[in-house]
Structure 1
Amino acid sequence: MESFKFEAIGTLFEVRTPYPLGDGLEWALLNEAERFDWVWSRFRPDSLVAQMRANGGRWDLPAESSRLSAFYSRLYRVTDGGINPWVGSSLERLGYGPGYELVPVGAPEPAPAWDAQHLWQGAAVVLAHPAVLDVGAAGKGLLVDLFGAILEEAGHGEYLIDGSGDIRHAGSEPIRAALEHPYQPDEAIGVVELQNGALCASAGNRRTWGDGLHHLLDARTGAPVDTVVATWAMAEDAMTADGIATALFVRPGADLVDEFPAIEWLQVFSDGHAEGSPAFIEGLFT
């Protein structure tokens, strides 16, 4: 397999295909990554999201916003507000802001309600006052899907996209993916098989900056979750798998299946036990 590695949205991506991509297709992927970052990043001062932080009013977003906002609306509803796209202010209060200060400025604070004061519907955001939109729960998965669409449009029917743990696969042969141990990154707690779909993971040990501080918050409290330490989800597309992996930090997987019946899921808890669907449980090492 040919491999193309590059950095985008602050992390490492790898695209594997049976044949070389060529300079034109590599440029298309890099250009899409830059466009996506300019729209959705909380960390660059010229992004649309950064401008929302400074100004209220109406903001028109690109086409993928409709898909993303509809998905977030479902997550917001099924988690009773535990997943909330306006959680950015809560993250920044704990130090995870554009300057990477990593020093809390106060106690955890709940995210604003997703209401008429903070309206995101379709391809438009309308704010009564400045607010911090954060799509970290599903944004990287969406970018993986957008990369997949570029590859498919260029005629690549087989590929593997790995966005630092957010994986999308297309092809006639399945792959086996290891499930990283949440406390020992060089070890695995199991394996799972993936074919023509997406696998995404979330873990509190990935972005930590203090005692008990990490990026996976319950938006209802603004505090990092401490009962769940790692999650995985499989779905048809990476945006869904990414968002479900995040939602598993604030809601039992059995509850999420009622809203998303096609998913597979796994939760690992701080006391060491695991819960999940058969596709994951059967692959855990004993």
Structure 2
Amino acid sequence: MPHPGWHNFNFDGIGTSWEISTPAPLGPGPRSDVLAEVERYDSTWSRFRGDSLVSRMSARPGHFVFPAEATSLASLYRILYALSNGAMTPLIGGSLEQLGYGPGYSLQPRGAAAPPPAWDDVLEWRGTSVTAKTPLVLDIGAAGKGQLVDLLAGVLRGHGVTEFFIDASGDLLNSGNTPVTVALEHPYDSSKAIGTVPLGTGALCASASNRRAWGDGLHHVLDGTTGVPVRTVVATWAMAGTAMEADALATALFFVSGEVLERHFRFSWLKVFSNGSAEYSAEFEGTLFT
């Protein structure tokens, strides 16, 4: 709990656990609207649900109209796709399913790793308008959970709730000015921390190759140019004004240097490599344990 005496609203959504902390208990109205927004988002973007819009797109090519949040996703992904030279792509879903991380969670590779198609060869995504030239597995997982955090913050503010702390299994958003000390999970031992960082107003998101791992060296952070899991970086943290940006930038740090990303985004960051070394921005005010 970020603040002693605050009240928690816990629920499951988009395949993970959530906790919203507020000074006063959330009433039935805000709770109901929060859960409805989670269901709406999941029914659109989940590639694990057969009834989702994304699943329909994976079954047949054509033109699809997505909800309003697709516009900011498209622009963010387009920038990061370019900066990473195609390594970070919303088309990575097919490569993940090839390695066993798909509906049904077989966790059994169907064959050798395979890169997704190039964006401009198969996909036109302008705002809410999406045209697939072939059946495509759209995967916005690198930014989606963060975006849903921001959307739920909007739901809370719509009910007049201005003070809150949202924890979506490690994707954090603090609406208040009082900093919350956050432990930075050890990339090889989730029971330990490698340091701490104070989170004031804004978001902190992490990405780590140990979070969703299976098989022999397989995990969910794939290089879009090869379809193979990233090996050199093991964990990243990004702090930004919105959870969507922090979430996406935490993944982008696996492929792009923090210095390059800082030319395009206002954020601070920490990156830990497989050899045990670390890099971080001047603005990342955390404490790393020795």
TM-score by length of 1: 0.98
Within a 5 Å distance, the mapping from 1:76-91 to structure 2 comes to 76-91=81-96
Q: How far has the Cα of 1:53 moved from its partner?
A: 0.5
Count how many residue pairs are aligned between Structure 1 and Structure 2. 285
2:217 partner amino acid: G
**Structure 2 residue 230 is the aligned partner of structure 1 residue 225:** yes
Q: How far has the Cα of 1:279 moved from its partner?
A: 3.9
**1:213-248 CA-partner distances (Å, limit 9, x unpaired):** 000001111000011110000000000000000111
Within a 5 Å distance, the mapping from 1:21-100 to structure 2 comes to 21-100=26-105
Within a 5 Å distance, the mapping from 1:273-284 to structure 2 comes to 273-280=277-284, 282-284=286-288
Within a 5 Å distance, the mapping from 1:184-195 to structure 2 comes to 184-195=189-200
Q: Which residue of 1 aligns with 2:221?
A: 216
Tell me if structure 2 keeps the 8 A contact 1:50–1:132: yes
**Structure 2 residue 150 is the aligned partner of structure 1 residue 149:** no
- 2:176 paired residue among 165, 171, 178: 171
Q: How far has the Cα of 1:70 moved from its partner?
A: 0.8
Tell me if structure 2 keeps the 8 A contact 1:201–1:231: yes
Distance, in Å, in 2 between the alignment partners of 1:14 and 1:264 is 24
1:172 partner amino acid: N
2:124 partner amino acid: L
TM-score by length of 2: 0.96
Which segments of 5 or more consecutive residues in structure 1 lack a partner in the other structure? none
Within a 5 Å distance, the mapping from 1:87-126 to structure 2 comes to 87-126=92-131
Distance, in Å, in 2 between the alignment partners of 1:78 and 1:72 is 10
Q: Which residue of 2 aligns with 1:265?
A: 269
Q: Which residue of 2 aligns with 1:237?
A: 242
Q: Which residue of 1 aligns with 2:144?
A: 139
1:96 partner amino acid: Y
Distance, in Å, in 2 between the alignment partners of 1:197 and 1:73 is 23
2:272 partner amino acid: V
Q: Which residue of 2 aligns with 1:13?
A: 18
Tell me if structure 2 keeps the 8 A contact 1:182–1:229: yes
2:61 partner amino acid: G
Distance, in Å, in 1 between the alignment partners of 2:121 and 2:157 is 38
Tell me if structure 1 keeps the 8 A contact 2:7–2:23: yes
1:84 partner amino acid: T
Distance, in Å, in 1 between the alignment partners of 2:183 and 2:277 is 18
Q: How far has the Cα of 1:153 moved from its partner?
A: 1.5
Tell me if structure 2 keeps the 8 A contact 1:192–1:279: no
2:38 partner amino acid: A
Distance, in Å, in 1 between the alignment partners of 2:17 and 2:50 is 21
1:264 partner amino acid: S
Q: How far has the Cα of 1:128 moved from its partner?
A: 1.2
Q: How far has the Cα of 1:80 moved from its partner?
A: 1.1
Distance, in Å, in 1 between the alignment partners of 2:25 and 2:285 is 36
Which segments of 5 or more consecutive residues in structure 2 lack a partner in the other structure? 1-5
Distance, in Å, in 1 between the alignment partners of 2:237 and 2:282 is 13
Distance, in Å, in 1 between the alignment partners of 2:236 and 2:49 is 28
Question: Percent identity, aligned pairs only?
Answer: 54
Q: How far has the Cα of 1:127 moved from its partner?
A: 1.0
Distance, in Å, in 1 between the alignment partners of 2:239 and 2:124 is 29
Distance, in Å, in 1 between the alignment partners of 2:101 and 2:130 is 23
Q: How far has the Cα of 1:278 moved from its partner?
A: 2.9
Tell me if structure 2 keeps the 8 A contact 1:90–1:222: yes
Tell me if structure 2 keeps the 8 A contact 1:180–1:186: yes
1:220 partner amino acid: T
Q: How far has the Cα of 1:117 moved from its partner?
A: 2.2
What root-mean-square deviation, in Å, do the aligned CA atoms of Structure 1 and Structure 2 show?
1.0
Moved >6 Å (runs of 4+)? none
Distance, in Å, in 2 between the alignment partners of 1:45 and 1:75 is 28
